Structure 1
Amino acid sequence: MSTRETSVAGQFYPSNPQEVKKVFDHYNQILEKHFSKDDPIWQLHPRAVIVPHAGYMYSGFTANIALKLLADQDIDRIVIIGPSHRVYFEGSSIADCDNYHTPLGDLPIDRKLACELKEEFGLQYYPDAHHEHSTEVQFPFIKAYKPDVTVEEIVYSDEKPERLAPIIKRLLQDPKTAIVISTDLSHYYNIQKANHLDSICLDAVKGLDRAKLHGGCEACGKIGVEAIMIVAEEIGLEPVLLDYRTSADASGDESQVVGYMSAAFVEKR
């Protein structure tokens, strides 16, 4: 059996399972202080979420809100889609392994799905592209919160949102499948500039405004974000912003920050 081994465990997040659990417990203690059990946020039923992918100390709390909310849904498959930071290639690559390793244990990869998507959409498998932190940092959350699901990982490089959107739409035809879109926002501006640029991204997502997304948003995963916006508009999903912050919230350094957001896409009522 082939396993997608971890590439950034011990760097972006702890490699020790007890340390991972301790981090998640810390996030959830903060959530309990800020949101009561009756808060409307816990009544959301997302089909897809947007999450950041920096080191846990910077963006883990923001990701945790979305992934914990997603785990409360009646789903049995999660597909994580993120940009390639290390390897350039044309199109999108789908993981074609048997398992995805995390410090908390392995998650089974849906190889049948991988074969179907390869055939339907011409996806390839570029192994080097899957040593990718934008997707990997999400899997310990999934193993902790939804340990019995199957997973799949799609990493894109030179891709167009219009080509990625039909894949997402096809996946969401199954009500037991959820999508995770991975992106950070602006990189290494001072806090004022970062807040301005990131507000463009936030407003664009909130309004499903693709034109605004191209009016200054510097999200590294903008392709994936635009793809889920296309699908949301087509199938009637409503975006709900969950959290926004920058690395300055953790480091205190406002001179060069990275922005992070999380959002949920829920069925309109």
Structure 2
Amino acid sequence: MSKVRRATHAGSWYTNDGRELSSQLDEWLSKAQPSYSPARAIIAPHAGYVYCGACGGHAYRQIDPSNMQRIFILGPSHHVRLSGCALTETSHYQTPLYDLTIDQKINEELFATKAFEKMKMSTDEDEHSIEMHLPYIAKVMERRRGQFTIIPVLVGSLSADKEKLYGSIFSQYLADPENFFVISSDFCHWGQRFRYTFYDKSCGDIWQSIEALDKMGMDAIEQMDPAKFSHYLKEYENTICGRYPIGVLLSAIDALRRNGNGRRMSFKFMNYAQSSRCKKMSDSSVSYASGALLMQ
């Protein structure tokens, strides 16, 4: 297998100049603190770096690359409707820094469960939710270039039962300290162009209502409660595009808890940002949050 997925969003969503990109990532990482490190999983945004690059740095700053062998990247599908999860059939993913190697052994293990579809190259290259994490991964892992692999997973619109199924499958990998999980998600997409204009005027301006709404969801995630997060989504219909990858992570954590593995787990968000501060109903914004999971 020699097919390579191109960095199709380089030059538009982020710079395709390797030196410039490395410098940007260094700057964002330097401004964040390793306050919740070493993380075993992170939630981080996937928008254009001009909007969310700085926010993403707070999640990636929690990574200790020294023991990391395999990185799972769970990103939502924006362009193709999937009822399950799909895996790439390529050998490498390009970045302007260096190419990242797909873990064929893990892919084969996951395909053997009969729960995963194969991702077309066109679907893979159209999607941004995984790609936007690759430069950050390449950057934080650059001292171990060639010594780790990635497992990209495109996550479709899952039922609660399928979130539990995939959570159960991934829980065995989450339990291994040599594995790391990146959960790709932006938070509230607010405005008429997103067909979502929830506004609680008691919070103040629209942007303050959006922040309060997002932080209710973030609180459910910090409690690592999949049922509470699901209930929150049903009640408020918040347009969190990575709700299903987040649901899979919460289900994996829940599966580990139910198995009584004795590990202490905690999740915390370190940073929250909005692309703009909405004050009028004609405004729009997207929210971003970076959080990390500790397992002891």
TM-score by length of 1: 0.88
- The counterpart of 1:133, out of the listed 119, 128, 132, is 128
2:207 is equivalent to residue 208 of structure 1: no
CA contact 1:97–1:111 (8 Å) conserved in 2: no
What's the secondary structure of 2:268's corresponding residue?
strand
CA contact 1:45–1:73 (8 Å) conserved in 2: no
CA contact 1:102–1:139 (8 Å) conserved in 2: yes
Deviation at 1:66, TM superposition (A): 1.4
* Counterpart for residue 207 of structure 2: 191
* Counterpart for residue 166 of structure 2: 164
Deviation at 1:173, TM superposition (A): 3.5
Deviation at 1:253, TM superposition (A): 5.9
CA contact 1:93–1:129 (8 Å) conserved in 2: no
2:271 is equivalent to residue 243 of structure 1: yes
Higher-Rg member (1/2): 2
* Counterpart for residue 179 of structure 2: 177
* Counterpart for residue 152 of structure 1: 151
* Counterpart for residue 110 of structure 1: 103
CA contact 2:29–2:61 (8 Å) conserved in 1: no
What's the secondary structure of 2:129's corresponding residue?
helix
After superposition, the C-alpha distances for 1:161-204 in whole angstroms (9 at most, x for unaligned) are 22321232132233211011111111024413321220121111
Q: Matched residues in 1 for 2:63 and 2:179: separation?
A: 11
TM-score by length of 2: 0.81
Q: Matched residues in 1 for 2:81 and 2:251: separation?
A: 24
Deviation at 1:121, TM superposition (A): 4.1
Question: Which residue identity is paired with 1:158?
Answer: S
Question: Which residue identity is paired with 2:156?
Answer: S
After superposition, the C-alpha distances for 1:111-135 in whole angstroms (9 at most, x for unaligned) are 1111110012431212133121111
Q: Matched residues in 1 for 2:167 and 2:54: separation?
A: 27
Change in Cα spacing, 1:74 to 1:117, as seen in structure 2 (3 Å) is same
After superposition, the C-alpha distances for 1:39-63 in whole angstroms (9 at most, x for unaligned) are 7x16x22111111111111111121
Deviation at 1:71, TM superposition (A): 4.1
Runs of 4+ in 1 over 6 A off after TM superposition: none
- Percent identity of the aligned residues? 27
- The counterpart of 1:142, out of the listed 137, 145, 150, is 137
* Counterpart for residue 233 of structure 1: 254
Query: RMSD of aligned C-alpha atoms?
Result: 1.9
How many equivalent residue pairs? 257
* Counterpart for residue 220 of structure 1: 241
Deviation at 1:95, TM superposition (A): 1.2
Q: Matched residues in 1 for 2:31 and 2:61: separation?
A: 13
